[in-house]
Amino acid sequence: MSKDIAKTRNVALVSHGGAGKTSLAEAILFDAGVTKRLGKVTDGTSVMDFEPEEVKRQITISAAFNTATWKKHKINIIDTPGDFNFLSDTRACIMAADFAIILVEAIDGVKVQTEKVWEFAENFNLPKIALINKMDRERADFFKTVNDIASTFNVRVVPAQLPLGKEDSFCGVVDLLTQKAFRYSTDESGSFETEDVPPDMAEDVATYRLELMEAVAEADDDLLEKYLEEGELTAEEINQGLRKAIVQGTFLPVIPGASFKNIGVKHLLDFIVDFCPSPLDIPPRKAKGPDGSEVEVAPDPDGPFSALVIKTVTDPYAGRLSVFRVFSGSLSSDSSALNSSKGEKERFGNFLIIRGKSQEHVSEAATGDVVAVPKLKETGTGDTLSSEKRPVIFPVQEPLPPIISLAVSPKTKGEEDKVFTSLARVLEEDPTLKLRRDEETKEMILSGMGEIHIEAATERLRRKFDVEVDLALPKVPYKETIKTSTEIQNRHKKQSGGRGQFADVSLRIEPLPRGEGFQFVDKIAGGVIPKQYIPAVEKGVVEAMADGVLAGYPVVDIQVAVFFGKTHPVDSSELAFKIAASMGFKKGFLECKPTLLEPVMTMEVVVPEEFMGDIMGDLNSRRGRILGMDAKGRNQVIKAQVPLAELLQYAPELRSITAGRGVFTMGFSHYDEMPEQIKEKIIAEAKAAKEEGE
């Protein structure tokens, strides 16, 4: 089994959106004979991007899996999203990989999302190689991109292959190890012819081959000693050293390619097989034992079973699928394992190899495999499955915090519960999405990484569950309060033949310090209002507070005392006192310099230093208050307090200002009085809405 595992490669394709990850996956599948035609994202024939939302938008929304065989090696492919809306899925799924291929466009070089996925790979200590893609495009520049990668990530970048031709004349690669040129056909078949190095490239090949040999030698003390003594390494020694350097991350090997035209992909596959790590090459994974102690899980095929669930997907035929990576041991179908994250035993049926939107049944899941199992009862994304004899829990990172929220309402009246339960099932597939009911505004709030993220979720909701919804900016939960005190007397008297209604109450209304809520005080002396009517007085006040007086928002930070009143021996009742108190409160409230309060958020904005001035100016224009600034690597962290009303659409505007390089988090801080002109606007809007409703 170890021999088989040594021939397994688990690779995550990562990059910014549009760099060609899915096109590369399609070319690999085609060249390896998995597919009979080269799938294209642009014409909707991609095997990997098969969801209707992906076909429509021509982007990867959810990480996709497939398997190819190349030179008797099994290559498990994880094609990850590059759009910022879906990067949380990328971060979760690359935990199943043993190395990553970082794709960088040869035209524009490193982009902000390239930096994000690089950071993910670094956090997981994932070995990396780089493919400089789209070498066939106008303005493509291999060496400029190499320098861009090196300067951005502060890493030594060493070409392992050089491009043959440039821009629209790019036609293949020159391998620095074999010192041969490989000219690819222009018909996208992936066929090529082997040639000698062109004379005009001989000097570059010699220079970069020497650089590669030096870098390889420096990764191994024995090789370095030999290289310093003899000035040369054998092909076998270079291969051995290059493989070791990739695992250790000593330097970043880069190769050129054009995945859309299937140029250079077969030599990338050779590189993966020859130099990239198998599961056996990866150091033991850190985990926690039952007592919380740290344990190491070695990639031992004969050891106790352990696996991490990296994704949950819903298949129209197979149902709910849990996708997991096996880190040690093996498990056969129709057996059981422990969900050690939840302490629940799970029974397994057949295992499935995911091939895009289809699956293939297998009878065993062994070390290094990435497989799915249907219909686990208790297991979700991030859970660890392990042997009952050696339970372990692998650490997982929390999903990236959502940065935008929208109110969700059903298009069909009365389907609120159906929307909520259906969305909960969509959330099983995407833990980054958050759903809650706002008790104050009575809205369903769906939060995600961006507008496209939330729109894609609602498209899936319609397609899978036949539920259509409307999206809108959420209401801001304003509050009403007062700034001065008053005493008010109110009489409710109604006579309509027979028994009438009578109640007379005197109320003292006073403001409380911010955050104190509501206090009701019974100051009645001498029984002028019988005890049984006091709760009705309080209820009338509370109901009036809930509906608001100025603009329909709840009243807070107020004390109401009932200190006098009158009754009628026949016509007084609980209802009469409730109405009298409610009407009296509303009258008195308007005499106490009423005002509106707005929620203020504490936020941290992380941006490159060159955007500091623009961001601080923008926050000031949003009525923000800058609290301070801190350095964080190459970025600056701006801490501020800003009213929530000014932040409802902040995410896209921050991306626009910073070219997508800024991120932010925020949380509730406190309520504060809003400026007079904004208060008047809110009151006018509330009045207009009420009149329209009537």
Q: Check whether 316 has a pLDDT greater than 80.
A: no
Mean pLDDT of the region 3-13: 90
Find where tokens 């939840």 sit: 342
Q: Check whether 7 has a pLDDT greater than 90.
A: yes
Phi, psi dihedrals of residue 287, rounded to the nearest 5°: -150, 175
Give the per-residue pLDDT at 314: 80
Strand partners, 256: 132
Q: Check whether 386 has a pLDDT greater than 90.
A: yes
Distance, in Å, from the CA atom of 372 to the CA atom of 362, rounded to the nearest integer, reads 10
Phi, psi dihedrals of residue 577, rounded to the nearest 5°: -70, -35
**Per CATH, domain 480-593 is 3.30.230.10:** yes
Distances 465 to 15, 425, 457, 654, 686 between C-alpha atoms, Å: 32, 9, 11, 34, 35
Mean pLDDT of the region 18-37: 94
b/e map 403-426, b = 16+ CB within 10 Å: bbbbbbebeeeeeeeebbebbeeb
Higher-pLDDT residue of 495 and 561 is 561
Q: Check whether 587 has a pLDDT greater than 50.
A: yes
Residue 251, helix vs strand vs coil? coil
Q: Is beta strand 180-184 parallel, antiparallel or unpaired with respect to 595-608?
A: unpaired
What is the number of other CB atoms lying within 10 angstroms of the CB of residue 217? Answer: 22
* CATH 2.40.30.10 intervals, the chain: 285-386
* Burial class for 221, CB neighbours closer than 10 Å (0-12, 13-18, 19+): exposed
Distance, in Å, from the CA atom of 246 to the CA atom of 4, rounded to the nearest integer, reads 21
Higher-pLDDT residue of 439 and 573 is 573
**In CATH, what number does 404-472 get?**
3.30.70.870
CB 311 within 8 A of CB 93: yes
Kindly indicate the confidence band of residue 442, based on its pLDDT and cuts at 50, 70 and 90.
confident
Give the tokens for residue 179.
């010192």
Q: Check whether 3 has a pLDDT greater than 70.
A: no
Distance, in Å, from the CA atom of 555 to the CA atom of 480, rounded to the nearest integer, reads 4
CB 409 within 8 A of CB 470: yes
CA geometry: angle 690, 692, 694, nearest 5 deg:
70
Give the per-residue pLDDT at 497: 64
Mention every residue, 6+ apart, whose C-beta is less than 8 A from residue 513: 557
The torsion of the CA quartet 489, 495, 498, 503, rounded to 10 degrees, works out to: -10
Mean pLDDT of the region 308-312: 94
Q: Check whether 235 has a pLDDT greater than 90.
A: no
DSSP state of 479: E
pLDDT tens for each residue of 622-655: 999 999 999 876 788 999 999 999 999 898 899 8
Q: Check whether 476 has a pLDDT greater than 60.
A: yes
* CATH 3.30.70.240 intervals, the chain: 597-677
Q: Which CATH number fits domain 2-281: 3.40.50.10300, 3.40.50.300, 3.40.640.10, 3.30.470.20?
A: 3.40.50.300
Give the per-residue pLDDT at 425: 84
* Burial class for 283, CB neighbours closer than 10 Å (0-12, 13-18, 19+): exposed
* CATH 3.30.70.870 intervals, the chain: 404-472
Q: Check whether 1 has a pLDDT greater than 60.
A: no
Phi, psi dihedrals of residue 690, rounded to the nearest 5°: -65, -45
Kindly indicate the confidence band of residue 248, based on its pLDDT and cuts at 50, 70 and 90.
very high
The DSSP result for 76-88, as a single string, is EEEE---SGGGHH
pLDDT tens for each residue of 523-547: 998 889 999 999 999 999 999 999 8
Give the per-residue pLDDT at 181: 96
Q: Check whether 12 has a pLDDT greater than 80.
A: yes
Mean pLDDT of the region 235-239: 86
Alpha carbon distance, N-terminus to C-terminus of the chain: 75
Give the per-residue pLDDT at 44: 87
b/e map 469-494, b = 16+ CB within 10 Å: beeeebbbbbbbbbeeebebebebee
**In this structure, which topology does domain 285-386 adopt according to CATH?**
Elongation Factor Tu (Ef-tu); domain 3 (2.40.30)
Mean pLDDT of the region 482-509: 90
The torsion of the CA quartet 32, 35, 37, 41, rounded to 10 degrees, works out to: -100
**Per CATH, domain 597-677 is 3.30.70.240:** yes
What is the number of other CB atoms lying within 10 angstroms of the CB of residue 377? Answer: 10
Give the per-residue pLDDT at 451: 87
Give the tokens for residue 194.
């082997």
Alpha carbons within 13 angstroms on the beta-carbon side of residue 104 total: 35
* CATH 3.40.50.300 intervals, the chain: 2-281
Kindly indicate the confidence band of residue 577, based on its pLDDT and cuts at 50, 70 and 90.
very high
Q: Check whether 413 has a pLDDT greater than 60.
A: yes
Confidence (pTM): 0.84
Q: Check whether 446 has a pLDDT greater than 60.
A: yes
pLDDT tens for each residue of 361-382: 999 999 999 999 998 888 999 9
